[in-house]
Chains A and B, each alone.
Chain A
C-alpha cells in the first residue's frame, strides 16, 4: 500500500509518517519512508512517501498515479500533490488553509474551496474533507491535527493496520506527556469516520 502525506512544515507530518510506519512494522509489514523536507525552516511544503509492502519491489518514490491514499494536512499542498493518487484512490484532506507569504502579499491567489472541490471531482477518486484541528481541539489537543487525520483514515478502514496497533505506535513515538492527548484525538476521529462509513 502506498500513502502520500503532504502539508506544511510544522504540522507534524514527519511524526505522522513515522507513526504509521511504526504501526505497519509491528503489524508485520516492511516499510519504506521518504521525506522531502526541502529547506529546514518551518512553513515550507512537506511531502512524504510511505510504502507498506510485503514481497514487491518498491523504491523510495511513489510513481505518479499509483498511491492508494493521500493524507492532505493542508488544502493547497493536497491539490499540488494530487497527481500521485491512483484512479479509485482516496484523499483524506484537512480543511486547513495556511497562506504562504506570496499569497499574503498579494502575488498569488489561494485556490477557493470551490476550485479545490472541482479539481477533486475531476479526478476519479474518493475524497473526504475534515476539520482535523476542530477534532483535535474538541479533545483538548491543540497539536493533534496529524493524529486526527490518521484516526479518520483508520476509521474509514483505509489503513491495513488495527487501531489498537496505531495506539501502541503512538505510545512508542509520542513524547510521554503528549501520548494520551494523541490517543484521544485518534479515537475521536476514528469514531467520527465510523459514522461516515
Chain B
C-alpha cells in the first residue's frame, strides 16, 4: 500500500464501507460490517448494546448509498423477526446483537431454524464475556446448539470479514440462519484489513415470498415434519466444515501437545507458543466452524497428538464435545482445559493465561512477573449535568421527606451508574424492562415500603410495556419513573422511539411513554423536567403517595447531547463570600464538574453544563448563575 493511498483513505471515516478495494485500519466490528456489505445485504437490523453497536452504527451511515434498509429496532426480538422475514423473501439480511439481546431474540431464533431461510441470514452475536459492560458473562454458542444452526468463530478482524461472507453463502446453501460469534476483544481490536468488491448480484435481488404453509406455519404437525429436515441440514453442515478453509492445522505432523483454539484466543495461543519457544512441540488446530463440530477433522487431529489443550471463551463447550469424540475414538490421552482447571473459568483470556496453562502442562518455566499494587478504583460516575443525577437525588429526597426508605428497582442504561456512591440510589438491576415486572413482584409479595421502578425511555419501549400492562391489570401499588432523555445514551446515542429520527437520519414520529401509559389505563401520570428540583421532589412525593400505578416521566435531554449541540446557555460559580465550605455540592452530587483545587471547592467552567443541581441543594445559597459568553 502506498503512502498516497493511506493518506487518501484515512480522510473519510466510513470510506472502508464504500470503496471496492483497499486496505484500512478497522476494528473487528467494522470488518464485520464490511463483510456484510460485500455479501450484498439489503437489510441490517440491531438494537444498541456494547460491544456490538458499532456494526449497525457504521452500516446506517452508508445504508442509503448501498440501498440497505438499516434500523435500530425496538428490541432484539423485533430486529431478528425483521431480518428473518426479509431472508424468507430471498434477500440477504444481517442481525447483530450483544449476548443479552440474543436471549431476547431467542424465542424466534429457535423456531426459525425449523423453517430455515431462502436468502442468507446471519446472526452476529458478540459476547461480553469478561464482562466489561454487561449484567452477565454469557456464552451464546449454546444458542447455536439449542437452535441447531451453524456457528462460526473468526479469530481476527481480517478473518471476520471473510467469515461473514462465507456465513451468507452457507446460509443459502443450507437454508439455515448462521451465527457468527466473537467476543468483545475481537470487536474492539483494530488492524489493517484488505477489502474485496461488493456482491452486486445479491444486492439486486427482488423480494419474493412464496407461501408454503407446511414450511412456514409452525404448528406441531409441521414442526414434526421439519425436525428431521433440520437435523439433516446439520449433518450437511458438518460435512462442509470438515473441509472448510478457515479451519487450519499448524505445526509439525506429530507433536507432544495439540491445541484446539477458537476465536480471538487463537491469537493468544500463537503468541504464547512463540514466547515460550515451543513451536516444534505443538500442533495447533484453529477451529472456526465450531457448530456443528467437524468430527472427521477433529478425529484426525487427535490421532497426531499425545495430549490436547482446548482454548475457547468462555464455557468449555468445544472441550466437552471433543471429549465426546475422544470417547468414541478410544482416545485415552489427557484433554486439558477448563474442566481440568488449566484454563480459568471466569474472565477473558490473555496470552498470560495461555502461557501459564502450557507451562503447567509441559512442566516448563513460563511465569510472568506480575505485581499487585494497591491503587484505589476509579468508580464510574454519571456525567457532569446528567439529568439522572437530579432524578435520583429527587427520588431519595422525596422518600426522605415521606420518612421511608423505599425500594428503588433499577433497570439497564446509563442510570445504573446511580448505584455508585455518593448516590447509592438503586437496589436492583437485572435485565431490560425488569424494573417494572420486579416492582409488581415486590408489591404482590407484600412489601410494605413504597416501590419505585426506574426505567429509561429506550428500555421502556424495549421491554417495559408488557409489565406496565400487568401492573395496571393486577392493581399493583407501585410508582414508575421513566427517565426520558429521548435517546439511547449509554451505548453511544442511537435513536429510539422518543428521538424523532431513525438510524439513517429520516424523520420519525416522536413516541411518548405517557401516551402509552394513558392508553393502558394508568390513572396518575405526570411529565416534568429537571430544571426545578423542588417541584420534581413535590411531584414524586405525590406519585408515591398515590394508590395504584403512578407514572412520572422525567423528560430532560442527555447532557452530552447538550454539550455536543452547543446548547449550554449557563454555568454556575461559587460565591466564596457566602460559601461555608460544607462541601455539600461536591459530596452529595458527586458531580465531576465540582472539584477540589488547592484548598477550595471549584466548579470547573469547562465541565459545568448548567444543570443547577448544586445551586438547588446548597444550604446557604452560595452558588449562582454565570452567563455564558461564547
- Residues on A lying within 8 angstroms of B by beta carbon are 8, 18, 21-22, 25-26, 30-45, 56-61, 63-66, 76-77, 79-80, 82-83, 87, 99-111, 119, 123, 168, 172-173
Contact = CB atoms under 8 A, between A and B. Distances in A.
B268 interface: yes
> What are the nearest 9 A-B pairs in CB distance?
A108-B376, A59-B267, A60-B189, A33-B190, A57-B270, A100-B378, A101-B590, A63-B351, A59-B271
17 contacts: A22-B10, A41-B417, A43-B383, A57-B274, A60-B189, A61-B350, A63-B275, A63-B368, A76-B375, A76-B376, A100-B376, A100-B379, A101-B592, A105-B421, A105-B590, A106-B587, A119-B373
B368 A64 contact: yes
Interface in B171-193: 185-186, 188-192
A11 to B, nearest CB: 13
Interface in B232-285: 264, 267-268, 270-271, 273-275
Given A21-B190, A99-B595, A101-B590, 12 more contacts: A22-B10, A30-B191, A33-B191, A34-B189, A40-B133, A58-B267, A59-B267, A65-B369, A66-B368, A102-B378, A105-B587, A111-B376
B25 A25 contact: yes
B495 to A, nearest CB: 16
A21 B25 contact: yes
B345 interface: no
Given A40-B50, A57-B274, A63-B368, A32 B375 contact: no
Given A41-B381, A43-B383, A59-B268, A31 B191 contact: yes
A110 B351 contact: no
A83 B270 CA distance: 22
B228 interface: no
Interface string B403-418: 0000000000010010
Interface string B485-511: 000001110000000000000000000
B373 A82 contact: yes
B190 A173 contact: no
B6 interface: yes
Given A36-B132, A61-B351, A101-B420, A110 B11 contact: no
Contacts of B378: 8, 43-45, 76-77, 100, 102
A98 to B, nearest CB: 9
A58 B188 contact: no
B561 to A, nearest CB: 13
Contacts of B369: 64-65, 87
Contact of B7 (A108, A111, A172): A172
A26 B560 CA distance: 34
A182 to B, nearest CB: 15
Contacts of B590: 101, 104-105
A79 B370 contact: no
B213 interface: no
B268 A61 contact: yes
B569 interface: no
B264 A60 contact: yes
Interface residues of B, number: 58
Contacts of A33: 25, 189-191
Interface in B379-424: 379-383, 414, 417, 420-422
B586 A104 contact: yes
B377 interface: yes
B210 interface: no
Contacts of A45: 378
A79 B373 CA distance: 8
Nearest to B350: A61
B163 interface: no
Nearest to A74: B378
Contacts of B268: 59, 61
Interface string B349-381: 011100100000000000011110101111111
Contact of A43 (B189, B190, B592): B592
A32 B7 CA distance: 19
A103 B590 CA distance: 10
A39 B351 CA distance: 24
A110 B188 contact: no
Contact of A64 (B264, B352, B375, B595): B352
B368 A65 contact: yes
A101 B421 contact: yes
A102 B379 contact: yes
**Interface-centre pick from A56, A61, A83, A87 (highest chain B CB count, 10 A):** A61
Contacts of A43: 378, 380-381, 383, 592
A8 B541 CA distance: 38
Contacts of A100: 376-379, 381
Contacts of A102: 376-379, 421
Contacts of B421: 101-102, 105, 107
A107 B520 CA distance: 45
Contacts of A107: 376, 421
B596 interface: yes
A131 to B, nearest CB: 16
Nearest to A84: B370
A80 B595 contact: no
B3 interface: yes
Contacts of B350: 61, 63-64
A35 B188 contact: yes
Contacts of A83: 370-371, 373
Contacts of A87: 369
Interface string B191-235: 110000000000000000000000000000000000000000000
A63 B377 contact: no
Contacts of B10: 22, 172-173
A36 B10 CA distance: 22
B587 A25 contact: no
B185 A60 contact: yes
Nearest to B370: A64
